[in-house]
Each structure stands twice: as C-alpha cells, then as structure tokens.
Amino acid sequence: MLNVGAKELLEQSSPAGGAISAVLERAGGRIIGQWRVTLAFRESGLADDLLNSLVSGTPSVRAAGARLCGALRLSEAVLWIADLIDDADPTVRDAAIRALGQLGGTRAIEALTAAGDRISTARLAITLAQGASDFDIEALFREAATEKAAVATMLASGLRRDPVRVPSLLGVVQDRRWPKPVRTAACTALGMIGDAATLDALGRVADTDPVPVVKSAAERARRRITRAEAGR
C-alpha cells in the first residue's frame, strides 16, 4: 500500500527514486518482485500521475517525473522521456538521458543512439553500459546508427568489463575499414576488460598499424593489461 501522493514524490524525486531503485535491485531479475512494486504504483494511480508530469509546464516537475519513471522502469514512458532529450532545460535533458539508461530495452537504446549528436560520447557510453542488453550491444556492433554511437558502443563494452565482447572488439581493432575513432575506442575497451589473451594481438597492432592514434591506443591497452597481470 502507498500512502504518498504524486506531489510529494515529485518534490522528493531523488531520494524517492533512489529508494525505488534499491527495492527493484533487491528483487534482482525476478519479474514477479519488480511487478509487485510497479503494480502498487499503477493501482494507486500514481503511475499515471508520473507519466502526466513528463509534459508539465514546470521544468523541475518534468525532470522529477523522468527520474521517477526511470526508477520505476515504466516502459510506457520511453517515448515521452525520449522527447525530453531535446528539452530547453539542461536539468530535464540530463534526467531524461539517465532515465532512459535505467529503463533500458531496445526502444530506449534506439532513442539514445538517435540523439547521440546531443549527448556527449562519455555520457552515451555510460548510459549504454547501464541500460543496453547483450542483444542491443550485439546489434550496435553490427550496425550503429552513427560513428559516435559506434565509439560509445565500444566504450560501453569496456565499462561493462564484458569478456564476451573481446573477439568482436579485437575484430574492430584489426579491421582498418572501421573509422579511426572506433578502432581507438575498441583498443581502450580491451584495456578496460583486461583479458591477457589479447596481449599478442594488441602488440601487433601497436607495432605495425599505420594509424598513429590506433597504435598509441593499442600500446596503452597493452600496458594497462600487463600492469594488471603483474599486480595479480
């Protein structure tokens, strides 16, 4: 049972959103646990109130609504929140980007990558690392909408420390048809993941690749992995 109104939630959106996220995290991957949390908000009418807040004339209310919809993982909010990426208020834009990362799912990831020119590469990579599924990352490896999205995808794989992506990342590093920034990002990601099995391949790229920025990135990744291995 909920004994709080939408107004109170929106006024305290940061702590409320944190509390909701914590509850959902404790539910883990169990759908029934997450469903029980969101059901309480839907049956009380609060979910509708939060969705309506996304079109409020007050920026602080729009931002708060995005935070809470993201925390609750209200999938029906994705399209509304995606529109807020172009909001005139920077606080609303930031809240929208973070909320899409929390919501996850293909529609949220498509909205983020489509808006990549309005999001910094670092923020896009962090958000993809948080919200993209393995299926989404695989799809972005095959066909990212833009070069920036491809760079962010490489970095997101590194941030996730995802060993499954090592062969794909090595393929990007070694394939000179990829743009230089994407190959460089793939080197950085391999350094983050830290798989010692990539040292020989990174060494060959560092020694022989004709693109200086890629050579340097491969050498940095090789040094990072070597240091990590020595410290074990």
- Alpha-carbon torsion, ordered 51, 52, 53, 57, to 10 deg: 140
Query: Looking at the predicted structure, is the pLDDT value of residue 98 above 60?
Result: yes
Q: Which residue, chain included where needed, has tokens 């983050």?
A: 192
CB 78 within 8 A of CB 100: yes
What mean pLDDT comes out for the span 66-77? 88
In a 10 Å sphere around its CB, with 0-12 CB exposed, 13-18 middle and 19+ buried, how is residue 78 labelled?
buried
Domains of the chain by range and CATH?
10-103 (no CATH), 134-226 (1.25.10.10)
What mean pLDDT comes out for the span 69-77? 87
Q: What is the DSSP string of 200-216?
A: HHHHHHHHH-S-HHHHH
Query: What does the pLDDT read at residue 47?
Result: 82
Distance CA 140, CA 145 (A): 8
Query: What does the pLDDT read at residue 42?
Result: 72
Least confident among 6-10, 60-64, 172-176, 219-223: 6-10
User: In Å, how far from its chain's centre is CA 173?
Assistant: 22
Query: Looking at the predicted structure, is the pLDDT value of residue 82 above 60?
Result: yes
State whether the Cα torsion 160-166-168-169 is positive or negative: positive
CB 158 within 8 A of CB 193: yes
pTM given for the model? 0.82
H-helix or E-strand spanning residue 140: helix 134-142
User: In Å, how far from its chain's centre is CA 93?
Assistant: 15
Condensed to tens digits (0 to 9), the pLDDT of residues 99-115 reads: 999 888 889 999 999 88
Average pLDDT of the chain is 88
Query: Looking at the predicted structure, is the pLDDT value of residue 63 above 70?
Result: yes
